[in-house]
């Protein structure tokens, strides 16, 4: 618990402090690079990550951790075992942090999206006539 008030637990400041602790612990264990997956609540709730997601990513990057690479020459072995070059443009659900001619740093969004016709909670909204 990084902040005293419950309402501040989802704040960018608390996320930054937690990410700094994670980076420090990873360095103690000898971990220098991370693959990051972002996840929102999903389902029939919000599909966007909370307010602390961006500041947590920034804190990890500024603490010296290398964020996972998705290069222009990634081997895709899903097509009959033959290596196929995959462009980073195919990763449309990835949050691009840095782009260069050689590589792309990004974090993947893994928010679950409902496939059936689920609806939000809370009855009819707006003016009722």
Query: Is residue 80 one of the residues assigned to a domain?
Result: yes
Q: What mean pLDDT is reported for the chain?
A: 69
Q: 108-123, pLDDT tens digit by residue?
A: 666 677 777 666 677 7
C-alpha to C-alpha distances, 57 to 42, 51, 117, 128, nearest whole angstrom: 20, 11, 33, 43
**Long-range contacts of the stretch 78-86 (C-beta < 8 A, 24+):** none
Coil vs helix vs strand at 65: coil
Which pLDDT value is given to residue 129? 63
Query: Is residue 40 one of the residues assigned to a domain?
Result: yes
- Average the pLDDT over 79-88 and give the result: 43
**Long-range contacts of the stretch 59-62 (C-beta < 8 A, 24+):** 59/15, 59/16, 59/19, 59/20, 59/23, 60/19, 60/22, 60/23, 60/34, 60/36, 61/97
Query: Is residue 122 one of the residues assigned to a domain?
Result: no
Which pLDDT value is given to residue 20? 92
As for how many domains the chain has, the answer is 1
Q: 29-68, pLDDT tens digit by residue?
A: 888 888 777 777 777 777 777 888 888 888 988 999 888 7
Query: Is residue 128 one of the residues assigned to a domain?
Result: no
**Residues 109 and 95 sit within 8 Å (Cβ to Cβ):** yes
CA angle 3, 59, 97 (to 5 degrees): 135
pLDDT tier at 17 (50, 70, 90 boundaries)? very high
Residue-number span of the structural domain to which 70 is assigned: 9-109
Query: Is residue 1 one of the residues assigned to a domain?
Result: no
Residue with more model confidence, 27 or 68: 27
Please report, for the domain that includes residue 78, its CATH number. Answer: 3.30.420
Dihedrals φ, ψ of 13, to 5°?
-65, -45
pTM, 2 dp: 0.56
Query: Is residue 129 one of the residues assigned to a domain?
Result: no
Query: Is residue 95 one of the residues assigned to a domain?
Result: yes
Which pLDDT value is given to residue 128? 67
Query: Is residue 127 one of the residues assigned to a domain?
Result: no
């Amino acid at each position: 618990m990084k902040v005293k008030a419950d309402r501040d637990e989802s704040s960018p400041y608390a996320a930054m402090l937690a990410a700094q602790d994670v980076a420090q612990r990873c360095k103690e264990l000898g971990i220098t690079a991370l693959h990051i997956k972002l996840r929102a609540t999903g389902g029939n709730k919000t599909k966007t990550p909370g307010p602390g997601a961006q500041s947590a990513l920034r804190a990890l990057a500024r603490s010296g951790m290398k964020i996972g690479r998705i290069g222009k020459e990634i081997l895709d072995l899903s097509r009959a075992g033959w290596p196929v070059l995959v462009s980073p443009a195919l990763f449309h659900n990835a949050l691009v942090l840095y782009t260069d001619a050689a590589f792309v740093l990004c974090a993947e969004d893994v928010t679950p999206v409902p496939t059936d016709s689920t609806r939000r909670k809370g009855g009819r909204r707006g003016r009722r006539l």
